[in-house]
Chains A and B, each alone.
Chain A
Amino acid sequence: MSALLEVDDLSVAYRAEGGDVAALRGVSLTAQAGEVIGIVGESGCGKSTLAAALIALLDANADVTAGEVRLNGRDILSLHEDARRKLRGRDIAMIFQDPMTAFSPVLTMGDQIIDFQQHTGLSRAARRERARQMLLKVGIADADLCLRRYPHELSGGMRQRAAVAAALMANPALLVADEPTTALDVTMEAQIIHLLRSLRTEINGAIVIVTHHLGVIGELCDRVYVMYAGQVVEEAPVDDLYHAPRHPYTRALIACDPGAIATRQGVLPTIPGRPPDLAAPPPGCSFAPRCPQADATCRSTAPPRVRVSDRQAALCHKVVP
C-alpha cells in the first residue's frame, strides 16, 4: 500500500551569496491517512523548509536538488504553479505559528472563512452556515459573534482555534501545523493540543506537526522524525522515541528539556557546541563535533541509516540493530 504522503530522498538548497546552503539533505518520510506525524528539531535544522516543501510553497531562492514529495502518489513539487495553488486549500491545509499574520487584518473572520470555501460552489448562506458549524466544532461558543469580528479583536487562543477551523473547511488530505502552540500560553497550548487530538478522528487525512517543543510532540503525535542539520537523524514511534531513543542527538535533546527532568536542578544540561554551517556540511556525521560518543570514523565517514525495528531507524555509526 502506498502512503498518503511520501517524501522521498528530498534535498533542498537555498541559493545564497557565497555558495548554496543545503537546508535539506536526503530527507525521507511517510505518513498514512489518520496518522499524526511529528517533526522535531532546533532552529536551523531544516524543519521549516521541510514544512514549506510539504505544502509546495518553497521560497523563490530554494532549489529542489533531488527527490520528490508525493501526495496520493502525485509529485507535488514538479506541478505547475497553478496546479500547486489548487492543491493548497483543497488537498493541503496549513496552520501557522502566529494566527495574527495568517489572517488578513482588514477583513472580518467571517469574510475570510467564508471565502476559503469558494471552490465548493455552495451559496454564500450555505458557506456561512458551514463556517459557523466548523467554529462551533473547534470550541468557539459564540460563532456568530466570531464571524463578525476582525482578527485583532480575538485573543491568541481564539485566533488559533479559528485558524484550525479555517484549515479544516476544505476537508484536507494533509494538514501541516508549523509550531501551532508556540505563540500561546500554557493554558491555551493545552487547549489547542486537546482540540487537535479530538479532531484527528474527524480528519480523513494525515496531520504533520512541526515543532521544537518535545512536550507538544509527546502529547500529540504517533510517530516522530527528529531532524538535525537538514537530515532526519532518527525516526521512531513516539513511545520508543522518549523511552528508547537510539541517536545520541535525540538523547541529548530529551535530556535538555527542563520538563523531562523530574528532580529540581540548579544547573541545566546543555548540548555543547553549535550546529554545523550548512553552506559547508562536515564530511562525516553532522552531529560528530558535539557527540560524546564520536570517534575518527564518525568525523570522516557519513553515517549509515541503521534500522532498529521496522518502525525505528537512526542515522548513526554507533547504533547496532
Chain B
Amino acid sequence: MTAVFDIEALQVDLPLGGALWPRLIGKAAPRLNILSDITLSIASGESLGLVGESGSGKTTLARAMLGLMPASSGTMRFEGAPLGSRASFTALRRQTALMFQDPVASLSPRMRVGALVTEPFVIHREPMGNRRERARELLETVGLPAAIAERFPHELSGGQARRVCVARALALTPRLVLADEPTAGLDVSVQGEVLNLMSGLRDRLNLSFMIISHNLAMVRHVTDRIAIMYLGRLVESGPTAQVFANPRHPYTASLIAAEPHPDPRRRRDDLAIKGEIPSLLQRPAGCEFHTRCPRATDRCRVEPPALRAIAPGWQARCHLAEPEPT
C-alpha cells in the first residue's frame, strides 16, 4: 500500500507570548515545544484514528499537516511530494479537506447550504458546471434532500450540519480527509449514521481518513490503525484491533480502561488513571507519562524512552514494552 501522507520527525514550536524583553534586546524569543518527534504515515484508503486527552496535540498535528501551523523541523510528504513552501500547501489543500470540530460554527451563518457546499470550487477556481446542480449532487451523496440547499446553517439539526460538512469536504474529491471529532455532540443513533456514511464514501471513493477523537469506542469500530498522543508525542501506534486487544503503552491501557461501560455488571471500582495531563510548560523529565503511570520505575523518571517496535507497523514509547513474540 502506498502512503498518501508521510510525516517524519515532525516538530512544532510556538513562540511564548509576552516575551517582549528578549525581543527588545535582540535575542530569540523563548519557544514552547508543542509537538515533537512525530512520525506517522497514512496509507491510501486507510482510516487512521488519532487519540489522546485534550491538550495532547491532536488538533495541532492536523493543522500542522495542512500548513496552518508552521513546522519547526521534520519533513512531510503528500503522495511522495515534499511539503514546505506556501505553494505546496496551497496545492495540498486542494486535495485534502479538514472537517472542524463544531459543524455549525464552521459554516458561515450568512450563506445558504447550497452556496456553502460549492464554495470549495470557488476558492480553488475549479469548474463546477451548474452550481445548483452540483450542490444537489453533493447533498445527495451525503443523503440529504435537495431542498436543504435553500436553508441556512442555523436551520439544520446537528446531524444535518455534520452531513453538510462532509459534503463540503468531499466537494473537490480529496484524497485525504482530516476529521476533527466528527461525532462530538451527536446522539448515538445519529453518530452511527455519520460514521457509516464516512466509511461508505471511503470505500467508494478510495479516500483516506484521519479521525481525531477522544471517543475510543467509536475509533475502535471505524479505524484501521490508531495513534495515541500524550503531551505532543506519539506514545503508541499500531493496528486498531491489536492495540485494543493488547495495549503496550500504559497510557493506552488506562485510556481504554477509563471508558465508561454501558453495563452495570462491569463497573470498575478502581480508577484507571489519576491526575491530569501536565502542562506543556513543565514537561516531566524522563518518560513524560511517569507522573501518572501505575508501572513507573526509577528508570522512567530519568530516562526518556524511545519508540520501540512491537511488531511490524506497531510501536510504543515505553521502557517496559516488550516486542510481540514471533
Which label, helix, strand, loop or mixed, suits the secondary structure of the B interface? helix
Specify which of A185, A216, A238, A239 is in contact with B214 (CB 8 Å cutoff).
Answer: A185
Specify which of A158, A252, A257, A269 is in contact with B217 (CB 8 Å cutoff).
Answer: A257
Smallest CB gap from A252: residue in B: B189
Specify which of A155, A219, A264 is in contact with B221 (CB 8 Å cutoff).
Answer: A264
Specify which of B188, B215, B264, B271 is in contact with A242 (CB 8 Å cutoff).
Answer: B264
Smallest CB gap from A217: residue in B: B262
- Give residues of chain A (248-291) contacting chain B, Cβ–Cβ below 8 Å: 252-254, 256-261, 264-271
Tell me the minimal C-beta distance from B213 to chain A in angstroms: 10
Tell me the minimal C-beta distance from A56 to chain B in angstroms: 27
Task: Evaluate contact between B264 and A269: CB separation under 8 angstroms.
Answer: no
B273, CB-defined interface residue at 8 Å: yes
Give the chain B neighbours of A156 by CB distance below 8 A: 54
Specify which of B221, B240, B273 is in contact with A265 (CB 8 Å cutoff).
Answer: B221
Task: Evaluate contact between A157 and B276: CB separation under 8 angstroms.
Answer: yes
Give the chain B neighbours of A270 by CB distance below 8 A: 189-190, 192-193, 196
Tell me the minimal C-beta distance from B259 to chain A in angstroms: 6
The 3 closest A-B pairs by CB, nearest first: A215-B260, A268-B192, A259-B217
A218, CB-defined interface residue at 8 Å: yes
User: Of residues B188, B192, B193, which shows the largest number of chain A Cβ atoms within 10 Å of its Cβ?
Assistant: B188
A42, CB-defined interface residue at 8 Å: yes
Task: Evaluate contact between B221 and A261: CB separation under 8 angstroms.
Answer: yes
Which label, helix, strand, loop or mixed, suits the secondary structure of the A interface? helix
User: Of residues B189, B217, B258, B266, which shows the largest number of chain A Cβ atoms within 10 Å of its Cβ?
Assistant: B189
Known contacts A216-B260, A252-B189, A257-B188; 16 additional CB pairs below 8 A are A42-B188, A42-B189, A42-B190, A186-B216, A187-B254, A213-B260, A215-B217, A218-B262, A218-B264, A242-B264, A256-B188, A257-B262, A259-B259, A264-B240, A266-B199, A266-B221
Tier of interface size on chain B: 35 or more
A193–B273 Cα distance when bound, in Å, is 13
Specify which of A190, A238, A264 is in contact with B264 (CB 8 Å cutoff).
Answer: A238
Give the chain B neighbours of A242 by CB distance below 8 A: 262-265
B274, CB-defined interface residue at 8 Å: yes
Task: Evaluate contact between B192 and A194: CB separation under 8 angstroms.
Answer: no
Give the chain A neighbours of B188 by CB distance below 8 A: 42, 212, 214, 253, 256-258
Give the chain A neighbours of B53 by CB distance below 8 A: 185-188
- Give residues of chain B (204-225) contacting chain A, Cβ–Cβ below 8 Å: 214-218, 220-222
Tier of interface size on chain A: 35 or more
A78, CB-defined interface residue at 8 Å: no
Name A's B-contacting residues (CB within 8 A): 42-43, 155-158, 185-191, 193-194, 212-219, 238-239, 242-243, 252-254, 256-261, 264-271
B120, CB-defined interface residue at 8 Å: no
A239–B265 Cα distance when bound, in Å, is 7
Smallest CB gap from A268: residue in B: B192
A204–B215 Cα distance when bound, in Å, is 34
A270–B190 Cα distance when bound, in Å, is 7
A254–B271 Cα distance when bound, in Å, is 25
Tell me the minimal C-beta distance from B40 to chain A in angstroms: 22
* CB 8 Å contact bits of B247-274 with A (1 = contact, 0 = none): 0000000110011111111111001111
Task: Evaluate contact between A215 and B261: CB separation under 8 angstroms.
Answer: yes
B74, CB-defined interface residue at 8 Å: no
User: Of residues B222, B255, B262, B272, which shows the largest number of chain A Cβ atoms within 10 Å of its Cβ?
Assistant: B262
A215-B259, A218-B260, A218-B267 as given contacts; A264 in contact with B241, CB under 8 Å: yes
Smallest CB gap from A259: residue in B: B217
Give the chain B neighbours of A193 by CB distance below 8 A: 260
Tell me the minimal C-beta distance from A284 to chain B in angstroms: 21
Task: Evaluate contact between A219 and B189: CB separation under 8 angstroms.
Answer: no
Give the chain A neighbours of B254 by CB distance below 8 A: 187
A257-B188, A258-B220, A264-B240 as given contacts; A190 in contact with B261, CB under 8 Å: no
Can you show 22 pairs from A to B with CB atoms below 8 A apart?
A: A185-B53, A186-B258, A186-B260, A187-B254, A187-B255, A190-B273, A212-B187, A215-B261, A218-B267, A238-B264, A239-B264, A242-B262, A256-B188, A257-B188, A257-B217, A259-B259, A259-B260, A264-B220, A266-B222, A268-B195, A268-B222, A270-B192
